[in-house]
Homo-oligomer: A and B are copies of this chain.
Amino acid sequence: MEHKLQELKRRLLEIDNLEKAAAVLSWDQSTYMPPGGAEARGRQLATLARLAQEKFVDPAIGKLLDELQPYAESLPYDSTTASLVRVTRRKYEREVRVPPAFVGELFEHSAQAYQVWTEARPANDFARVQPLLEKTLEYSRRLADFFPGYEHIIDPLVDYADYSMKASTLKTLFADLRVELVPIVQAITSQPPADDSCLRKQFPHAAQLAISKEIVAQMGYDFQRGRLDLTHHPFETNFSVGDVRITTRVKENQLSECLYGVLHEGGHGMYEQGVRPELEGSPMGGGASAGLHESQSRLWENIVGRSRDFCEYAYPRLQAAFPEQLGEVPMETFYRAINRVERSLIRVDADEVTYNLHVMLRFDFEMALLEGSLAVRDLPEAWRERFKVDIGINPPDDRDGVLQDVHWYGGIIGGAFQGYTLGNVLGAAFFDQALKAHPEIPAEMRQGNFGTLRGWLVDNLYQHGSMFTAPELIERLTGGPIRIEPYLHYLRTKYGELYTL
């Protein structure tokens, strides 16, 4: 049995090596690759993806899993070996349905679409990406159709990112949230907006990067096992538990985009850096779902990073880094500025309160596109109309409208966005639990000490990688299924103090 287990691990490690090699190539594509490299990069990524897929769906892996099944069942559920067999089997049973040639084709198409998007977005030219996006939709439907029997065509695609989540559950959850959020947004936006002019001065590029690095390192992101680079659309990626990279973009006339972008990606990065090394090289060696991943990016970016406690630590450092710009600005002004709520164009820049409305709109579009009730060519117009209704403003162009997010242009349509709202909801629930276990956390944060909070998250969440499913982890951390109440309580408390609700 030990021999078979070693053979399974050897095969999984080889697949992981191919997948991580592909991740390096994707990172390079999004950070440093010159324009001339795009075409070959597409086929290089496609080859790696196809080989990894071929090797994973090899019947020999199915056979090993079958042979190891009785042994795994004789072990405790949460042992590494039982989990390896269980988690690998779940992935195997999904992946065998998708032909490797399809995976390679999709990868190549995505790389091409991404490259065109990086040019089409600044040129505000949806027409350039439209035929590619139509092909993406076709690929997304074909991918879903490898899983017949779904309730909704989006379900198998959501399942990749957020295992066991379904459109029906998400629709209810989003509707419940929406009912509560819309009145809060209305109440706040009918009051005078916070003055955020202190964030809109000139902040030199290099100084923004330096202070962002200092703060995210203080939170616990380890630069010996990571790095920060520039990109169009920030992301976190990892090539091993020892090499977890984050990216950002800098606007010199805006302080928060870089800083809070780094805290966001730093949250993802700390999750990956916290995975137990022995889980590496297998399907367990990374964050458990999109929702759980976003729970960490949003927790560190918002619940921590936009709290008054955090400002007590960080703001004096920001003032020291930017004495001319912030020296005379009181902390309370900065605190209100970073928590300004407004109807705005860009999801990633949206405040905590309106953010989920941006997500719901995208999720609904994904469903409509996949169902066929909305055509890709009608998407920009539909976007403008829905945006006006939901967010309350008119997008002036496609660049900051339907072209703003990389997700559809660098991947598939379906399952790309729900994780952000799940993350908002879960982040608040987890932070609640951490506070119950360690009431000293807020006082520590004021001193720039994030060790207790991060330690609790490592112990309870990060170290487990994907040993458990998201529902299992949510149960372990909160004692029950996903609930929106802690998040709503968090928002009402925080914003009730800043505005009249």
Q: Could you list which residues of chain A lie within 8 angstroms of chain B, going by C-beta atoms?
A: 13-14, 17-18, 20-22, 24-25, 28, 32-41, 43-44, 46-48, 51, 222-227, 229, 239-243, 245, 280
* Chain B residues whose CB sits within 8 angstroms of the CB of A222 once the complex forms: 36
Q: In the bound complex, what is the Cα–Cα distance between A51 and B21 (angstroms)?
A: 13
Contact A243 B41 (CB under 8 A): yes
Q: In the bound complex, what is the Cα–Cα distance between A51 and B22 (angstroms)?
A: 14
Q: In the bound complex, what is the Cα–Cα distance between A18 and B44 (angstroms)?
A: 7
Contact B224 A35 (CB under 8 A): yes
Least CB separation from A22: chain B residue: B21
Least CB separation from A14: chain B residue: B47
Least CB separation from A51: chain B residue: B51
Q: Which of B17, B38, B39, B241 contacts A43 (CB 8 A)?
A: B17
Closest 10 CB pairs of A and B: A37-B243, A40-B240, A36-B242, A36-B225, A17-B47, A17-B44, A21-B44, A34-B227, A37-B242, A21-B21
Taking the closest CB of chain B, its distance from the CB of A235, in whole angstroms, is: 16
Taking the closest CB of chain B, its distance from the CB of A461, in whole angstroms, is: 21
Contact B229 A34 (CB under 8 A): no
Q: Which of B25, B46, B243 contacts A36 (CB 8 A)?
A: B243
* Chain B residues whose CB sits within 8 angstroms of the CB of A240 once the complex forms: 36-37, 39-41
Contact B40 A280 (CB under 8 A): yes
Known: A37-B225, A40-B280. A17 touches B48 (CB 8 A): yes
Contact B21 A243 (CB under 8 A): no
* Chain B residues whose CB sits within 8 angstroms of the CB of A241 once the complex forms: 36, 40
Contact A20 B44 (CB under 8 A): yes
Interface-centre pick from A24, A227, A245 (highest chain B CB count, 10 A):
A24
Q: Which of B37, B223, B243 contacts A40 (CB 8 A)?
A: B243
Interface-centre pick from A25, A34, A226, A280 (highest chain B CB count, 10 A):
A34
Contact B24 A226 (CB under 8 A): no
CB-defined A-B contacts under 8 Å, sample of 19: A17-B43, A17-B44, A17-B46, A21-B21, A21-B22, A28-B28, A32-B227, A34-B243, A36-B224, A36-B240, A36-B241, A36-B243, A37-B239, A37-B240, A40-B239, A40-B241, A41-B239, A41-B243, A51-B51
Known: A37-B239, A239-B44. A21 touches B25 (CB 8 A): yes
Contact B226 A34 (CB under 8 A): yes
Taking the closest CB of chain B, its distance from the CB of A20, in whole angstroms, is: 6
Known: A40-B242, A43-B13. A34 touches B280 (CB 8 A): no
Contact A47 B28 (CB under 8 A): no
Contact A38 B239 (CB under 8 A): no
Q: In the bound complex, what is the Cα–Cα distance between A43 and B241 (angstroms)?
A: 14
* Chain B residues whose CB sits within 8 angstroms of the CB of A245 once the complex forms: 34
Taking the closest CB of chain B, its distance from the CB of A266, in whole angstroms, is: 14
Least CB separation from A48: chain B residue: B21
Taking the closest CB of chain B, its distance from the CB of A498, in whole angstroms, is: 39
Least CB separation from A13: chain B residue: B43
Q: In the bound complex, what is the Cα–Cα distance between A46 and B14 (angstroms)?
A: 10
Q: In the bound complex, what is the Cα–Cα distance between A32 and B24 (angstroms)?
A: 11
Taking the closest CB of chain B, its distance from the CB of A414, in whole angstroms, is: 28
Contact A47 B34 (CB under 8 A): no
Contact B40 A18 (CB under 8 A): no
Interface-centre pick from A24, A32, A36 (highest chain B CB count, 10 A):
A36
Taking the closest CB of chain B, its distance from the CB of A153, in whole angstroms, is: 32
Q: In the bound complex, what is the Cα–Cα distance between A21 and B239 (angstroms)?
A: 14
Contact B20 A40 (CB under 8 A): yes
Q: In the bound complex, what is the Cα–Cα distance between A253 and B28 (angstroms)?
A: 32
Contact B36 A226 (CB under 8 A): yes
Interface-centre pick from A40, A46, A222 (highest chain B CB count, 10 A):
A40
* Chain B residues whose CB sits within 8 angstroms of the CB of A44 once the complex forms: 17, 20-21, 24, 239
Q: In the bound complex, what is the Cα–Cα distance between A13 and B156 (angstroms)?
A: 33
Taking the closest CB of chain B, its distance from the CB of A19, in whole angstroms, is: 10
Q: In the bound complex, what is the Cα–Cα distance between A223 and B243 (angstroms)?
A: 28
Taking the closest CB of chain B, its distance from the CB of A221, in whole angstroms, is: 11
Beyond the given pairs A34-B243, A36-B226, 10 more chain A to chain B contacts, judged by CB atoms under 8 angstroms and listed by A's residue number, are A13-B43, A18-B47, A21-B22, A21-B24, A24-B44, A34-B227, A35-B242, A36-B242, A37-B239, A41-B240
Least CB separation from A23: chain B residue: B44
Taking the closest CB of chain B, its distance from the CB of A39, in whole angstroms, is: 6
* Chain B residues whose CB sits within 8 angstroms of the CB of A37 once the complex forms: 225, 239-240, 242-243
Q: In the bound complex, what is the Cα–Cα distance between A22 and B28 (angstroms)?
A: 13
* Chain B residues whose CB sits within 8 angstroms of the CB of A18 once the complex forms: 47-48, 51
